[in-house]
Amino acid sequence: MEQARPINRIKVVLVEQSRTGKWLSQMVEKNYATVSRWCSNAAQPSLEMLVKIAEVLNVDVRELINTTKEK
């Protein structure tokens, strides 16, 4: 079975900023299990939540999404 391509980079950005999923869950007022599913790409946040996450992490929302084009 082929592995699905990761859609978001939330976990990568958290690691780059030395932040945790628990911290993010508190900042966006979501259950830690929900944030964990986002970080593992098992589920995706809504567009509105993605914008809120970008604001909390002080990054452009585009940094949270993997590109669809091959380089």
- Work out how many domains the chain is built from and give that number: 1
pLDDT of amino acid 67: 84
Tell me, yes or no, whether 69 lies in a domain: no
Residue 1 pLDDT > 80:
no
Average confidence (pLDDT) over 1-24 = 89
Share of the chain above pLDDT 70, in %: 92
CA distances from residue 38 to 7, 24, 27, 70, 71 in whole angstroms, order as listed: 9, 11, 15, 23, 25
Average confidence (pLDDT) over 38-50 = 96
Tell me, yes or no, whether 3 lies in a domain: no
| Phi, psi dihedrals of residue 39, rounded to the nearest 5° | -65, -30
- Its domain, for residue 46, covers 10-64
Tell me, yes or no, whether 38 lies in a domain: yes
Helix locations, 1-71, DSSP H:
10-16, 21-27, 32-39, 47-57
Q: Does the pTM of the predicted model rise above 0.75?
A: yes
CATH code for the domain of 15:
1.10.260.40
